[in-house]
Amino acid sequence: MQTIATSPAQARRHAAYMALLAALAGLMFGLDAGVISGAQQFIQRQFGVIELIVSFMTVGAALGAALAAWLSVHFGRKRSQLWMCGATARGQQPGITWIWCAAKPSAPASWPRA
């Protein structure tokens, strides 16, 4: 069986790296919680329910992080970033017609092919 750390110094570096990653993840989810709590009054005014929407936003952030990791592992970093940018652009469209136009698979013949 192969171990990750072969020396005590390497084990300390690995533990410090894992602690840094955990701290950054906590910082990101804390930032997300702060953004959500700042938006609560607008959510209440617009939709009338806070608890369910705030819960879905937090769960959505966790699922989004897991999806991004899965995409990166299976398709590579550049393709997954391109997919995320496309998904974000589609989510920002003002209506269903714009989303349909953005989703059309055909591109003009003058566009370069990958």
Domain extent listing, the chain: 8-76
In the prediction, which pLDDT does 70 show?
84
Q: Per-residue confidence of the chain (114 residues) as pLDDT tens digits?
A: 455 667 888 888 888 988 998 888 888 778 877 777 788 888 788 877 777 777 787 788 788 878 878 888 888 888 878 887 887 877 777 766 665 665 555 555 555 554
CA distance 67 to 73: 10
CA distance 36 to 30: 10
Claim: this prediction has a pTM higher than 0.85: no
Kindly give the residue spans of alpha helices, DSSP state H, lying in 4-104: 8-47, 51-75, 77-91, 96-103
DSSP 21-37: HHHHHHHHHHHHHHHHH
In the prediction, which pLDDT does 62 show?
80
In the prediction, which pLDDT does 1 show?
44
The amino acid at 99: I
In the prediction, which pLDDT does 87 show?
78
In the prediction, which pLDDT does 95 show?
65
CA distance 42 to 65: 25
